């Protein structure tokens, strides 16, 4: 069977925007079984990569119709064992969409191949992508056809925001860090974390980053000592930063079982009749909503788990009290799937994804790098921390 010829080219904002948005609406986003999510890019199809140091969006055109898109971004990150100084240039593949009526025609493969060629032209060492483990079409394309290898399986943890704020323990102190302090702490305590971005300062200074907070027990150490003497930290402490993803795109629950709708409405009704119960109400997910993404979550000390939970409650309260247009309805974070940190981060299993599949591919065949790649994909401890860049959510 002979297919009409398509061509791959760069995205052109003014002329392509409407068609790309239409294509996004026709392609479902989100786990195929438990949650059905659609994205609203609010008129900016490249909003998910616009804040990256370097990015590209490609489109597939067939007879003046856009039938496929793909996005990519490039940055320098920590990769253990990669010369020099454990730093590597990586390219992230995301947003691959092919029109439902034009699949199985090689369009997706051509988009991936062209994006990898762009990565190579920019001296990228590794390309990587993330998908749900049950997305068999995506897994087959990247792993079977393009040789990507399973790298990590982090967990995406999602917690709904309701209008009841949490009462944080009076024994816990939560303080906001200045940007230069936050950058120092991240480089000192997470600089060796896999995929730690070398331009962390740019992330922290971005207008979408709402701030960085540390939590510690009162009486453990005075903040003046904590902040002025960089070498001194409390016995137990935790920190995280917050990214306002709702400012650049929205989510909406496109399809859901009838039972889910009934449950949601019932909880709203009960809370309205008995507000004194302060029930954890289910937000309205059927209209476009935003979310906060917690990144750079780090903890140290025997009682730091309680501090992580307190910080999560603090972020929840931020979302509940926010008056901006982001309309925050959920708090999201992504951490290594087998990290004990998961047990201290409040989340709903119904909304969360316990195994987000990350796959990686070496784009260079240089002496020494193949061994490093083998170490990276086969011998990386599953509990080693992983830094998830908020710009790639």
Q: What is the pLDDT of residues 179-226, one digit of tens each?
A: 999 999 999 999 999 999 999 999 999 999 999 999 999 988 755 556
Give the pLDDT band (50/70/90) at residue 2.
Answer: very low
Secondary structure class of 38 (helix, strand, coil): strand
Give the pLDDT of residue 375: 61
Instruction: Note the pLDDT tens digit of each residue in 86-107.
Output: 999 999 999 999 999 999 999 9
pLDDT value at 71 more than 90: yes
How many angstroms separate the CA atoms of 310 and 303, rounded?
12
Instruction: Note the pLDDT tens digit of each residue in 345-384.
Output: 999 888 888 889 999 999 987 555 555 666 666 655 555 6
How many angstroms separate the CA atoms of 345 and 249, rounded?
24
Instruction: Return the half-sphere exposure (C-beta side, CA atoms, 13 A cut-off) of residue 274.
Output: 8
Give the pLDDT of residue 198: 97
How many angstroms separate the CA atoms of 2 and 122, rounded?
34
- 378: β partners: none
The CATH class of the 158-343 domain is alpha beta
Average pLDDT over residues 50-78: 96
Mean pLDDT over all residues of the chain?
A: 86
Give the pLDDT band (50/70/90) at residue 32.
Answer: very low
How many angstroms separate the CA atoms of 127 and 73, rounded?
10
Give me the residue spans of the domains in the chain.
Answer: 7-153+355-362, 158-343
Q: Domain 7-153+355-362, what fold?
A: Aminopeptidase (3.40.630)
Give the pLDDT of residue 277: 46
Average pLDDT over residues 235-253: 92
- Indicate the range of 118-127, 308-317, 331-340 predicted with least confidence: 331-340
Give the pLDDT of residue 232: 78
pTM, two decimal places: 0.89
Q: What is the DSSP letter of 289?
A: B
- Indicate the range of 13-17, 124-128, 163-167, 238-242 predicted with least confidence: 163-167
From the DSSP assignment, how many helices (H) and strands (E) are in the chain? 9, 15
């Amino acid at each position: 069977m002979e297919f009409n010829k398509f061509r791959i080219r760069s995205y052109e904002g003014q002329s392509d925007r409407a068609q790309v948005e239409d294509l996004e609406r026709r392609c479902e986003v989100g786990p195929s079984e438990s949650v059905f999510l659609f994205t609203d890019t609010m008129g900016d199809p490249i909003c998910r990569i616009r804040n990256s140091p370097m990015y590209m969006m490609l489109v597939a055109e067939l007879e003046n119709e856009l039938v496929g898109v793909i996005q990519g971004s490039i940055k320098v990150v920590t990769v253990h064992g990669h010369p020099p100084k454990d730093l590597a240039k990586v390219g992230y593949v995301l947003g691959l969409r092919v029109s439902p009526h034009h699949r199985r025609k090689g369009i997706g493969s051509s988009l991936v191949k062209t994006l990898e060629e762009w990565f190579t032209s920019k001296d990228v060492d590794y390309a990587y992508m993330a998908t749900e483990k049950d997305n068999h079409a995506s897994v087959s394309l990247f792993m079977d056809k393009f040789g990507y290898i399973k790298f990590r399986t982090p967990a995406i943890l999602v917690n709904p925001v309701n209008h009841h704020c949490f009462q944080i323990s009076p024994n816990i102190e939560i303080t906001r860090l200045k940007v230069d302090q936050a950058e120092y702490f991240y480089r000192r305590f997470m600089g060796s974390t896999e995929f730690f971005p070398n331009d962390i300062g740019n992330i922290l200074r971005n207008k979408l980053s709402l701030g960085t907070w540390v939590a510690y027990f009162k009486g453990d150490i005075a903040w003046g000592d904590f902040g002025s003497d960089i070498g001194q930290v409390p016995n137990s402490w935790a920190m995280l930063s917050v990214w306002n993803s709702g400012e650049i795109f929205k989510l909406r629950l496109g399809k859901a079982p009838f039972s889910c709708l009934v449950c949601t409405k019932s909880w709203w009704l009960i809370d309205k009749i008995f507000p004194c119960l302060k029930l954890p109400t289910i937000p309205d997910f059927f209209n476009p909503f935003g979310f906060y993404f917690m990144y750079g979550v780090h903890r140290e000390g025997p009682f730091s788990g309680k501090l992580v939970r307190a910080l999560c409650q603090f972020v929840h309260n931020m979302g509940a009290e926010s008056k901006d247009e982001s309309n925050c309805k959920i708090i999201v974070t992504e951490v290594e799937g087998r990290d004990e940190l998961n047990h201290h981060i409040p989340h709903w299993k119904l909304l969360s994804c316990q195994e987000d599949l990350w796959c990686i591919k070496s784009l260079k065949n240089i002496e020494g790098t193949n061994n490093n790649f083998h170490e990276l994909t086969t011998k990386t401890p599953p509990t080693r921390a992983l830094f998830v860049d908020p710009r790639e959510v």
